[in-house]
Structures are given as C-alpha cells and as structure tokens.
Structure 1
Amino acid sequence: MRRWIKRLLKWAAIIILAPYVLILLYAIDFVRPVSTLMLWDLATLKGYDRRWVEFEDISPVLVQSVMMSEDGQFCAHFGVDVRQLKGVVQDALDGEATRGASTIPMQTAKNLFLWNGRSFVRKAMELPLAIGADAVWSKKRLMEIYLNIAEWGPGIYGIEAAAQYHFKTSAAKLSKKQAALLAVSLPNPITRVASKPSRGMNRLANLIQRRANASGEYIKCLYD
C-alpha cells in the first residue's frame, strides 16, 4: 500500500509540475504549443485546423480588438487582474452571480494545460500558471501563443485558420469589423459565429471597434 501511495504521489507531482516545465519550453520562439482541446480533437479522431502565424503577421486591429474585448489591462497586470478578481470573490461571498475575470494569461494557461468548465479547483490551478507564464514570456509572446491556440469554431484554432474559415482572408488582412466580430465571438465561438453575427453580436462588435480605435496606451507593451 505504501508503495502504491508513493507512486501515486510521484505521478501527481509530475502532473502538477509538468506545465511549469512547459512554460519554460514555450518561451522558445520556434516552439508552437497546442492546446488541450486540440489534443482532445486528435485523440477523438476529429482532427482540427490550426495554422501558426507569427505575431508580426497578425493584423494589429485584431490584436487591439481581442485585447479590448478580453483583457483591457493586459499590458498593466502580471497575469492576474487583482481588482477584477476581488470583485468576483466578493460577488461569490455575497451569493451573487459571478462575472468573468479571466485575463488573457489565465485563458492561455487554461487552454494549454487545463480543461473547460467552471470550478474552483481549475481556477486555483490556473492562477499560478498564468502568473508564471506572464513572468517567463514577453507580453508579445503571450499574445502570440493565445491567438494561435484560441478556438474560433468547431475544430478551428488560431487566428489564421479563423480568418480563412470565417472571412476567406489571412490574419494579416482582417478588416476592423472582421477583427471585432472575431474578438466578440471568443467567449463562445460555437454559438457566436463571427461570419454569421446576430444583431447583438454586431452591436457588441461596433463597441469593441470603437474601443480598439482608442486603445493607444493600452497596447504599448505590444507595439513599441
């Protein structure tokens, strides 16, 4: 029994520590990470479409739109937006419905190493991974990885595959409206289809487009 317990603890330690080793590996520019969802699609023989694209080959309006839609304080925080997180914790303690507080580093950590679904266990694992990724990777590398593993439809991963699938163009040539529609579809790309937006999606995309136009100081860590 002791032998089995030791083996179990050993494997548990390996599983917990492995993502931190991968964070170091993924800091290397030519390494192209895949997400757990992509691995699941492979394991279930569904396959997927992902075409890695360098950060410099992604339209700035797409980067601006995603940042202003998903994580406006991306350049200012250290992986976790403490103010937003405190608000979520307070809402939970008050018994109110919690709002989203996931930063781009948190979403990247979840996509690379964890699973979908809401749970305090996953969130507790996600926070230190996000902080570690933000500490090891440059902001530009973090955004590059995020935009290359984000899901934009069934089996569609990364901004290049998304641009081709939804708008028959490249990530470098996305228009402001197309970029905004892709950005607002991220929370649920299965029901929010960028190429077939509802009225609500169009209204939200127009708001994100205006924010992207005025993003200036918010994106200074990505464009010197």
Structure 2
Amino acid sequence: MARLKKVNGLPKADVEAIFARFAQMDPEPKGELDYINAFTLLVAVVLSAQATDIGVNKATKTLFELAPTPETMVALGPEKIEDLVRTIGLYRTKARNVFALSQLLIEKHKSEVPDERAALEALPGVGRKTANVVLNIFFKQPTIAVDTHLFRVSNRTGLAPGATPLAVEQKLVNTIPEPYLLHAHHWLILHGRYICKARKPECYRCIIAQWCRFEPKTPQPVAKSGKATSN
C-alpha cells in the first residue's frame, strides 16, 4: 500500500454525514466484477488481484461459460484454465489456485462456497480481502475488503487512518454506522477508483469534499480558454 500523509480521524458526526451522502447519491452500489453464482464470484475475485475488473471480465466471459461450477472447472484442467486467463497478470499462479480451490470445494464443501471467513481463507489463493469481498457481495455480510483504493480513501479523508489494511478495516468496522456497513465497501472502493484517484484526486467533483481532511484540495482544471472545464 502506498504511504500517505497522516491525518487525524473524523468526528462521529462527519462520518455519519459522509455515508449519508454516499447513500443518498448511490443507494445500491454494485461491484464491477461479472459473475454467475458464488463460485464464479470467488474465482473472479481470486483472478482480480493486481488486475483490473475490466480485464478480469474479458477473461472470465468464456471461462465461466465453460466452467460455472467446481466440477466443470476441474474438468477443464489447469492448462486450459491458464490458456483462458493468460491476459491477466500472474495468470499461471492464479490458474493453479483456481483449479486447486475447485478441487477443495468438491472434496470438503460439497461443491458449495462456504459463508465463513476461516473456511474461505483456507482455500488456495484466497486471503482476507478476497474472503471479505465474497462474504459482502454474495452472502450480504457487512465486511470491509481493503484494497488500494479503499486504503487510500480511508487515510486521505480521515475516515479510518491506519498503517495497514487490517488496521483500516478494523477501524472502519468500528466507526461506520451500522445502517451503512453493508454498502460501505463498495462506496469507498468506487470513490477511490473514480474520484479520489492516487495521483490527481478530483476534489472539485467530490460529493464528500466538505468533510474530507485531504489538503490541498485539487482545483478544477482550467481549459485553454481560461475557463474551468465542465463535467
């Protein structure tokens, strides 16, 4: 995770206001990975490490048509899986993990994706972040999956300053009001992906800028005409 300028945490009222604004603007936020069922979601998230959702979706379109279940994925074999996902970074390791986790789901979980973190993390290629994504999206559990975007937003804004993803996750879980916990994961990741970008955060169109501790705020770009560009 990138090192960020340390800021103080936000007061409770500001945290409440931020998530109320997110909820007002996007009541039902959605993840951007394509999937068919719990199994294909798990596979998509495993493949998405250090890759874009767009790139993963392109690779999994054919993969999921051929193998939407653990049994059909095992039937493909690791070399065929490799071939289908070779456009994704670290595809060889990821393909082996997908094959191995499919085998374990058949052997230990009756081909069902478990809805418990420990069981998920015991699968090849599945860490805490991946487990949290699956638990949140498919099983509707109020978990927080801290990726690089969420880590950045949490530290920049003052929502949950922390030196590690786990510290940020735990602080968010203890800080975010309960009614907003289920969707908080998506709101923060999407905000970091499209607004609070790493190099040039677009503060001039940020819906939570009034509560954010990040300074200096990025001004609206000026066109060659000398006028601010419109969005």
TM-score, scaled relative to structure 2:
0.29
Structure having the higher helix fraction is 1
Per chain length, whose mean CA-contact separation is higher, i.e. which structure has more relative contact order (CA < 8 Å, sep 6+)? 1
Larger Rg: 2
TM-score by length of 1: 0.30
